[in-house]
Amino acid sequence: MIFTVAVDGPAAAGKGTISKALAARFGLAHLDTGLLYRAVGAKGGDAVAAARGLEPADLARGDLRSLEAGAAASRVAAIPEVRAALVAFQRDFARREGGAVLDGRDIGTVICPEAEVKLFVTASPEVRAHRRWLEVGGDAAQVLAEVKERDARDMNRADAPLKPAPDAVLLDTSDLSVEAAVAQAAALIESRL
């Protein structure tokens, strides 16, 4: 079976949690595509060369989840040659036998426009910043400012900006528990299987 679930949305909307749960429930492989951009940003130096030479070990670094790594990721993600270097790996992953869930910013729009299921997961900036703050701590106002800054950079870049695919189903998790959000997403997949 080849079956692709594309999950897009802004930072800390719940994409990762929902994607992991869906992959486990339906026995699909899961790729967190943000990790690719985080790894490129964390390598430093020439981002295009870093993207072209990305290796599995680069994705295993321990410091990729920090706010700094997220900010660096969104800067290198605006470079078209960086994005181009990562396309083939993501498409191969998406069409692997057994099916896959990919989460990111441009999965439904650019990487897998033919995905069988497309979800666009959102939540208010305040809710997302609060969730991120629970993970990373620090100054809450600064976390909110960084979430808004990253949203703006991701939505306003010329190449593959963050936006819902026309046929994506919107899932606003602001007032949903994880269980309720996963249940809604799972029901959508079941209706398309």
Instruction: Give exposure, 56-66, as e/b (b: 16+ Cβ within 10 Å).
Output: eebeeeeebee
Q: Are 23 and 184 in contact (CB under 8 A)?
A: no
Q: Are 52 and 59 in contact (CB under 8 A)?
A: no
Query: Considering CB under 6 A, how many residues would be counted as binding ligand C5P?
Result: 15
The single-letter code of the amino acid at 114 is: E
Q: Which residue in 50, 51, 54, 70 binds ligand C5P (CB under 6 A)?
A: 70
- Which among 150, 167, 180 is positioned nearest to 18, based on CA atoms? 180
Q: Which residue in 30, 43, 105, 128 binds ligand C5P (CB under 6 A)?
A: 105
For residue 113, how many other CB atoms are within 10 A of its CB? Answer: 14
Q: Does 33 contact ligand C5P by CB under 6 A?
A: yes
Q: Does 73 contact ligand C5P by CB under 6 A?
A: yes
The single-letter code of the amino acid at 181 is: A
Pick the closer one to ligand C5P by CB: 8 or 191: 8
Closest approach, Cβ 165 to ligand C5P, in A, equals 13
User: DSSP secondary-structure letter at 64?
Assistant: T
Residues 174-193: x/- map of binding to ligand C5P (CB under 6 A)? --------------------
Q: Which residue in 18, 21, 22, 38 binds ligand C5P (CB under 6 A)?
A: 38
Contact residues toward ligand C5P (CB under 6 A) are 11, 33-34, 37-38, 70, 73-74, 77, 104-107, 150, 154
Q: Which residues belong to the annotated binding site for ATP?
A: 9-17
